[in-house]
Amino acid sequence: MAAAFDASAPTYDDDLHHVTIADQLVRGLQPDPPPALVVDVATGTGFAAFAAVALLDARRVVGVDVSRGMLERARAKAGRDDPDGRIEWRHAPAVPLDLGDGAADVVLCASALHLVGRDAVREWRRVLRPGGQVAFSVPMAADFHPSPEFRRLVESHLTIPADDRAAAGIAAEAGFVAARTQMTAPAAGERTRRSFLVWAQVPVAGRR
């Protein structure tokens, strides 16, 4: 997988679909106060990580990816998009995350859950504090038509959801609550490839 994304890194930013999803995921969060730590899993070239700095005023962001090529592109943009140096870029797998239990306020995963699999969702639950928020996207089954090469990268233990209930169920199965979903719409002139955006929260003891 790392080699495949290393190869696509130079042109990855040309696909505005990924930019749109990352922006919508971050805008759908409502952390108060601004989060001390945001973790962006499978950060790619950093769209969601940069959005967390700009839109959430996150004090610290950790962007994790297995592709060195993607991280190089992210670092190249950091002088412009992260002038305060709030983002730490880590070359590491999505599971396990090198973070303690309850260390994070927000976990993001834009356009990559179908690559990292369901085990990653349980790992997000572990690293989030009580009341912490998760935001991820997942393709809609009706529009998911990967090439044979890409299909081999998709984790077989993640069923691509057909509807919003199934998308929200991915979060609920891992122990998150208050899941809400939204379906993206393709941009004008873009081929149809709708995704579900999912936001959910770690339960807080004593609250329902």
Residues sharing a CB contact under 8 Å with residue 122, sequence separation 6 or more, in sequence order: 174, 175
| Predicted confidence (pLDDT) at residue 42 exceeds the cutoff of 60 | yes
**pLDDT, mean of residues 44-71:** 96
Higher pLDDT, 88 or 5: 88
CATH number at residue 149: 3.40.50.150
The verdict on residue 134 lying in a domain is yes
The verdict on residue 193 lying in a domain is yes
The verdict on residue 206 lying in a domain is no
**Residue indicated by tokens 């369901």:** 118
The verdict on residue 37 lying in a domain is yes
**pLDDT, mean of residues 64-93:** 96
The verdict on residue 63 lying in a domain is yes
The verdict on residue 61 lying in a domain is yes
Token digits of residue 105: 């306020």
Distance CA 140, CA 196 (A): 6
Residues sharing a CB contact under 8 Å with residue 27, sequence separation 6 or more, in sequence order: 51, 55
**The model's pTM:** 0.91
Q: 133 pairs with which residues across the strands?
A: 106, 201
Work out how many domains the chain is built from and give that number.
1
| 3-state SS class at 158 | coil
User: How many residues are recorded in the chain?
Assistant: 208
The verdict on residue 207 lying in a domain is no
Domain holding 15, by residue range, is 2-201
The verdict on residue 208 lying in a domain is no
pLDDT of residue 184: 87
pLDDT of residue 191: 61
User: Which pLDDT band, with edges at 50, 70 and 90, does 63 fall under?
Assistant: very high
| Predicted confidence (pLDDT) at residue 156 exceeds the cutoff of 80 | no
* Phi, psi (deg, nearest 5) at residue 193: -155, 70
